Amino acid sequence: MKHPIALFLILIMTATSCERKEHGCAKLDDGVYTGTFNRSSPIGDYITANISITLEDGTFSGTSDVDHYPAICNGTFAINEEKIEFEDVCVWTADFDWTLILDGTFDITTEGDEVILSRSYEGDVYDQYRISKHH
């Protein structure tokens, strides 16, 4: 008898876990997403770039209206709970900051229809992609 009660409690916790968060649950369906990219830091003044990212069957590709800011090419991605990991497969030149390449692990949050991908470097540099699915 103890097992059905434990299972019920686990199901209730899982079903309501997103409701307890400050923002919505992470969800990225396949499709074309458009939005903005911005890097912030206490010592830098960065511009905002307009971006487009296409997600399809575990692969991604994308563009930015600013050269190498961010550097979005193509590769694969995987989502694990509230994180997304991009693996870029492109060959890049050495004439820009490679931390701007869409590669590595990002936190995923949502605000309404907007998906926010974010990560920080060395504690004070912060990258944020704010994207919405293009219908």
User: pLDDT tens digits, residue range 37-86?
Assistant: 999 999 888 999 999 999 999 999 999 999 999 999 999 999 998 999 99
Query: Would you state the structure tokens that stand for residue 84, as one six-digit string?
Result: 């997304």
- Is the pLDDT confidence value at 9 over 60? no
Number of H helices, E strands in the chain: 1, 8
Q: In the prediction, which pLDDT does 66 show?
A: 97
Is residue 80 within a helix (H) or strand (E), and if so which, with residue range?
strand 74-80
Q: Would you call 97 exposed, middle or buried from its count of C-beta atoms within 10 A (0-12, 13-18, 19+)?
A: exposed
Q: How confident is the model at residue 27, as a pLDDT?
A: 67
Q: What residue segments make up the domains of the chain, in order of their start?
A: 23-133
Give CATH for domain 23-133. Answer: 2.40.128.280
Query: Quick one: tokens of 30?
Result: 């396949």
| Prediction pTM value | 0.80
